[in-house]
Structure 1
């Protein structure tokens, strides 16, 4: 280290930041200052933890420099700190005043994230070049370091962007150009009183009520009022994230002043495969012209090269997992927490998460409120118990005691929570989505297949959502002989990513908002749960396997989703002219006193997907009694959305469960409690501040679960040539050769496909070795699966073994995806 013509001896061992931190603490304890040793100690941890996790402190909280550094090292570091104090704090280094230990622990987390960011930016030799000749410290600081820091911040997309003023409730088209007639929920978002300080809004309304636009309006108002400088829109899945990214990307620039160039990022593990995102990347050597910067989406390449940085972008859209990692002991989680600190956090479909994710979500809301952030939660069917947990989590972050939330029978409903107010307000919904969906129960699969064939022959567009991939395949196979191949489509998670995206685009073309009557005529879509939230599609007739009521309501939301004429042509006037909507539910025969295997006898696989048979039985009984789903309905009305949800999830629902199903219900309740306990164990104890004791373990984010379930692994599907010497090439062909392997990947449970079979591994040993030498980025934990074409079957075939060493035959086809036998 150098100062003027004096050279500070370079430390002989690593850990300069730790030594500098100790030197600052030593200076702070000089007689001229007011000692606050514990407070300084907490801040030293922040300085020393910039490599992604708090420093290890051993059995003692006292750090002794003599144990780690030579005298010359300590002298150099102390001299450097003295000179920095003289330069930056000419009145002397005083211990912080007016800050409590508790508040210091809270701010230690985003401060740690700031230190990580400063370390990453400051390590760039492109901006902070080495100097071979000594410089006076003030010369280096003012004439080199500060200008370089400004350049690094701007170059990497971290510069401040001025928020645009709110346009006003009477000029919403200035923000979202198609909001000529705001829905009641959107009007609420445009006019509701905003409170000082952090605040939470929970918006409950039916599918199609405009919740997304309402959230964006409210987020803009909060930002304009100084409650945030950006937003992060979190969704349950990657597919829903992709959809929302396009919607938010169309308007996000209007959140900021016209001359600003804010970044928007898509945050999930497969975002590099989404064309809409990769086209936005601003390369480091590319500067935007005056007009170009305001015309379209863009994201700085530095922000986009890893999900750890993604939440630093001005606007983010992505999976809930990326936000949940902020409260888990994943290395560099503090960077995510710092990125969220000045964001309005919007979370969609808050009802859809399992107990593990819900518990982590409560931890996230608590942390976000504690660091001054505001949040907007969206749901169509959130049960009262879940709502209470979310509200009380945010209360805890505000330092408030938990409260019992009285069930409110109204629906739609808005809830506003701030330090001084908790207010639930009934809300109307727009006339176009007020409807009664007739529910017809089926317990005969042949009758369901006949119905689909008849409706398709009449020119209608039909969708059947099944509860497992195997069930979807069986339904698809049963219809192949009855429908033209070009009219029958299968969509589930067992396709390579590239093929899955192709199918998704095809579904949107044929079943989406802008599909014409000719394109839709007689089309049939068979799929799994990925359809109920992932895609903005529209069916004339919806069929669903029996599932819990909230999922059925969600699936019914894809029924006549967009206004159309009787022939299926889009209706520009927004008036629906098709026959009254009908939801057909296939399941076991209704039975007031079912046996324990009532559900499993019909759904051998789905009984493990929805193991709480009591919820399915309560759902069937509620629909049987009501005969319909009324959106939204009024309090106490049979078939009203709120009435149906509480009939299954309400406090008194358990008392109506038949004795034979109570064991399954109790088992699921125990499992839910166990998942919640695991989430609490895994999550950080943020109240302890940024220190080693805040978690039992720290690890890379790939090893920290944001969701529970069977361990999965990435399998790359490789097409083998005619001979083993021909090499391997990615199964999916893409215009971008750099993406072909990623587009050929699929995630599978590790226990189902653990390794290649011995003979398959031997046959392709040379080709696999060559591939790994050419593609060194492939992880040793991933599996490359060579596949050979089976031309007679129109498939590819490969051989592996499961976790128990049993042989597994793998078949892959473009029609049905991957099948293990």
Structure 2
């Protein structure tokens, strides 16, 4: 019997299903068989990789599967074998085992570099010490999600971890396993694997190891069996089943029926907008391409993106799509919209999965239903289109991008270009998809730099992209388009952007085209802008509008200001008509408020529901919710945000009383009958000689949210001069969206900024440059290939920032009832109660529990830590006691300086401290 049969690869002490261990050769073949099945799904990619190496497709497949067999060479180390004590004479003795000080992925790489590449006969593998094979062994040994450590720089040697018998057994196995693959390459024509192929192969290796470790499909076997028999009779059939049942089989794309049949794809597109007509008919380029669609809020950009994605998929240029949104709330809404049509992207009879990808997705009922039931309707009133997602794809965000269709936060996509474990899996998932990024203007310099890196690599991998925005400045357009062009190995754009708006830009390796578009009649409008400088005047305005039966929204720039406005209005507005929405509610309460807002102010609300209501909120309103106010008030904010907020003003065409137009009336006859839309901007008085505290005097907290006072001053001046926001407006027209944005963010503002405010602008510019540098430092150097040198700081995804912000803590709110600490938010599903009771807070404001408070609840906290250790390992559980008022709880904490503070949570106001 060969010596390699005495090594275990998987072990479960006390396993009741059979053997207590799975022999290492069998596990190696399991994973290689899954790799083989995964390659079956990617014939075009296999051919392209083979051509780049000068091999046949069969030779590339053989090399990939053979090296997949070698992925766990490190488990031959006696130090690893000592991790499982079986007391069985069938396994190698572990009494002389060295200490296990390096992970087995690194040990496998060391074994290859120090021993196997010199010992493998050339008739087994051609030139085993060639540089090409070093790249392959790095990839397969990095199957736990990051490249192995390189020994030379750290003086790591195989001899310190393997006994001579171990190295001999590994060599014997490597020789015998090669007999399973008849088509191993007989010539080496290049120095190394293409880096793009290498990163995708790394993702496939992670995936193959995950699936090949599933005991349900690959039951443990501790008795030897001929390698060829096991490969043919056990490993390959099981691999085909696990790939199919994990939802990873490729789905045929549906043919594109043409621009005259858009309603067959999106049923409500009987009258497409000009932008949607462009998406339906503009010629596609060959190969990867990018579209940038700029149009006013409500102009149908989402549907235009879906049409383009459909066409790209039908043309064989993509096999799926991923919608990346700026926030979880926008992702939740987009998930429901895409859920109604995504099946039509694929051929009839296919079963594609649609995944929602963000950190709180398990709390979204639609997603939970789609996973648990597989065929539930995506909305209670629409049983024709069901959203479903394979449970294996749905159980981890790391797998989410592997689904045929996905909707989620931009963060999940950005993790593909950051040095986090399993990023290669995300990169693999995105590689064949149309990447749709919404609200591209909304990201800061840090996120935008990471996005540029993602677009560059997505283009290099042959992926197409669609960018959407209502207010993107020319500078940002240039940055993102040139990043994609760089990925296509093309020079930067020499053409200048046309100033038309709306505008559709189309970029490919062959050309760059810009086409002006009209916008749909219903969203063409002129919003008059009024200015208020006295808070009492704003309160009186709201009261008068409420008395007239209208619904009002006031968007404030900080949570504290929103609460202040709520306090000022709560005595004059009935409580059931006054809504407060911000980020400092426990997740369960936040989702409930979100539903209340959509019911009262959403597209389907009627006059009776809307009459006399007031919604006060923060920035979560401008990007998150599809609501519609009769009257809009906003604190002074940068011009692009004010345009976004104005987009929620009379967003849906209504009758004079606020009712929706009857469905029986044709869409072309829908005309807005409410009074002229007016945006009231509350801010400091205009001042041509403004001092440094011009903005901060009125907005003590918001001055830290929007520190570029020059941009705020320019925003006010532009609106004063124009008097209106005109959507979209004609070229050069005062108040036109493009004109307003460029007057603030263009090369030079129309008016000379006061010197005191210019200093703040220079400081913000310096911080933006710092953020860009930090993003470049943090991001992976993908061009170096899958190796340790691609980053010096690989880490878990929880330890790397996809966005820059003040440090936050996840706080679980727990009510003490004398016997235990229970989650604040009750839920029928006990698995979700703690997540629904959590929220993120500024760690500088609330760093920890006050010492006396911790001592008071020590027994309950210790018991909870034993029962639910995941709650307290990285996050904070804050005990609360019921307050004197109903719906309020009290606690004690400390800030980052150690100062004690009282904490109060109320259903009305959320979390606050003093």
- TM-score, scaled to structure 1: 0.95
Tell me if structure 1 keeps the 8 A contact 2:505–2:514: yes
Distance change in 2, residues 1:68/1:553 (3 Å): same
Are positions 1:55 and 2:145 aligned together? no
* Superposition deviation, residue 305 in structure 1: 1.6
> Bigger relative contact order, structure 1 or 2, given CA contacts below 8 A and separation 6+?
1
Are positions 1:180 and 2:309 aligned together? no
Distance 1:81 1:649 in 2: 61
* Superposition deviation, residue 367 in structure 1: 1.0
Tell me if structure 2 keeps the 8 A contact 1:5–1:136: no
2:542 alignment partner, one of 432, 448, 452: 452
* Superposition deviation, residue 369 in structure 1: 0.8
Are positions 1:150 and 2:150 aligned together? no
Distance 1:775 1:200 in 2: 47
Report SS of the residue matched to 1:202.
Answer: strand
Distance 1:351 1:100 in 2: 42
Distance change in 2, residues 1:616/1:95 (3 Å): farther
Partner of 1:608: 704
1:633 alignment partner, one of 723, 726, 729: 729
Partner of 2:766: 670
1:12 alignment partner, one of 78, 100, 106: 78
2:864 alignment partner, one of 771, 793, 799: 771
Distance change in 2, residues 1:231/1:608 (3 Å): same
Partner of 1:556: 646
Tell me if structure 2 keeps the 8 A contact 1:13–1:69: yes
Tell me if structure 2 keeps the 8 A contact 1:455–1:461: yes
1:636-685 CA deviation, whole Å, 9 max, x = no partner?
11000000000000012297222111110000000000000000000000
Distance 1:178 1:555 in 2: 26
Partner of 2:844: 751
Alignment of 1:102-117 (within 5 A): 104-117=194-207
Tell me if structure 1 keeps the 8 A contact 2:4–2:170: no
Partner of 1:797: 890
Distance change in 2, residues 1:3/1:375 (3 Å): farther
Distance 1:561 1:372 in 2: 38
Distance change in 2, residues 1:319/1:92 (3 Å): closer
* Superposition deviation, residue 80 in structure 1: 2.5
* Superposition deviation, residue 315 in structure 1: 0.8
Distance change in 2, residues 1:813/1:11 (3 Å): closer
Deviates more, 1:127-136 or 1:590-599: 127-136
Partner of 1:528: 618
* Superposition deviation, residue 773 in structure 1: 2.2
Q: What is the count of residue pairs matched by the alignment?
A: 810
* Superposition deviation, residue 755 in structure 1: 1.4
1:124-171 CA deviation, whole Å, 9 max, x = no partner?
111112333332222211221111111111121111111111121111
Partner of 1:335: 425
Distance 1:260 1:24 in 2: 45
Distance 1:207 1:555 in 2: 10
Are positions 1:317 and 2:407 aligned together? yes
1:729-763 CA deviation, whole Å, 9 max, x = no partner?
11111222221111010101112111111221111
Alignment of 1:646-661 (within 5 A): 646-653=742-749, 656-661=752-757
Alignment of 1:269-280 (within 5 A): 269-280=359-370
1:753-802 CA deviation, whole Å, 9 max, x = no partner?
11111221111111112222222221322111111122247521111111
Tell me, which stretches of 5 or more residues in structure 1 are unaligned?
Answer: 287-291
1:454-483 CA deviation, whole Å, 9 max, x = no partner?
001110010000000000000110011111
Distance 2:494 2:679 in 1: 36
* Superposition deviation, residue 298 in structure 1: 1.2
1:208-253 CA deviation, whole Å, 9 max, x = no partner?
1100000011011111111111111000000000000000111111
Distance 2:273 2:119 in 1: 61
Tell me if structure 1 keeps the 8 A contact 2:507–2:513: yes
Are positions 1:37 and 2:127 aligned together? no
* Superposition deviation, residue 726 in structure 1: 2.7
Tell me if structure 2 keeps the 8 A contact 1:714–1:746: yes
Are positions 1:426 and 2:516 aligned together? yes
1:462 alignment partner, one of 531, 549, 552: 552
1:46 alignment partner, one of 129, 139, 150: 139
Tell me if structure 2 keeps the 8 A contact 1:163–1:256: yes
Distance change in 2, residues 1:654/1:613 (3 Å): farther
Alignment of 1:223-302 (within 5 A): 223-282=313-372, 296-302=386-392
* Superposition deviation, residue 376 in structure 1: 0.4
Tell me if structure 2 keeps the 8 A contact 1:559–1:581: yes
Distance 2:642 2:191 in 1: 50
Partner of 1:686: 782
Are positions 1:541 and 2:631 aligned together? yes
Report SS of the residue matched to 1:437.
Answer: strand
Tell me if structure 1 keeps the 8 A contact 2:849–2:892: yes
Distance 1:371 1:3 in 2: 43
Distance 1:647 1:52 in 2: 47
Distance 1:382 1:4 in 2: 61
Distance 1:127 1:251 in 2: 33
Report SS of the residue matched to 2:434.
Answer: strand
1:75 alignment partner, one of 143, 165, 168: 168
Report SS of the residue matched to 1:128.
Answer: coil
Partner of 2:470: 380
2:499 alignment partner, one of 393, 409, 415: 409
Report SS of the residue matched to 2:563.
Answer: helix
Alignment of 1:348-363 (within 5 A): 348-363=438-453
Partner of 1:709: 805
Partner of 2:720: 624
Tell me if structure 1 keeps the 8 A contact 2:339–2:385: no
Report SS of the residue matched to 1:738.
Answer: coil
Tell me if structure 2 keeps the 8 A contact 1:684–1:694: yes
Distance 2:112 2:239 in 1: 21
Distance 2:298 2:121 in 1: 59
Distance change in 2, residues 1:657/1:142 (3 Å): same
1:392 alignment partner, one of 482, 489, 495: 482
Tell me if structure 2 keeps the 8 A contact 1:11–1:72: no
Partner of 2:220: 130
Report SS of the residue matched to 2:539.
Answer: helix
* Superposition deviation, residue 626 in structure 1: 0.3
Distance 2:238 2:828 in 1: 39
Partner of 1:289: none
Partner of 2:52: none
Tell me if structure 2 keeps the 8 A contact 1:189–1:215: yes
Q: What RMSD in Å do the two structures reach over aligned CA positions? A: 2.4
Distance 2:498 2:612 in 1: 43
Tell me if structure 1 keeps the 8 A contact 2:419–2:793: yes
Distance 2:484 2:536 in 1: 50
1:533-561 CA deviation, whole Å, 9 max, x = no partner?
10000000011000000000000110111
2:186 alignment partner, one of 91, 94, 100: 94
Distance 1:604 1:407 in 2: 39
Distance 1:782 1:354 in 2: 27
Distance 1:27 1:220 in 2: 49
Report SS of the residue matched to 1:141.
Answer: helix
Tell me if structure 1 keeps the 8 A contact 2:474–2:497: yes
Tell me if structure 1 keeps the 8 A contact 2:814–2:823: yes
Tell me if structure 2 keeps the 8 A contact 1:6–1:134: no
Report SS of the residue matched to 2:506.
Answer: strand
Are positions 1:700 and 2:790 aligned together? no
Tell me if structure 2 keeps the 8 A contact 1:42–1:105: no
1:403-428 CA deviation, whole Å, 9 max, x = no partner?
34413210000111111111111111
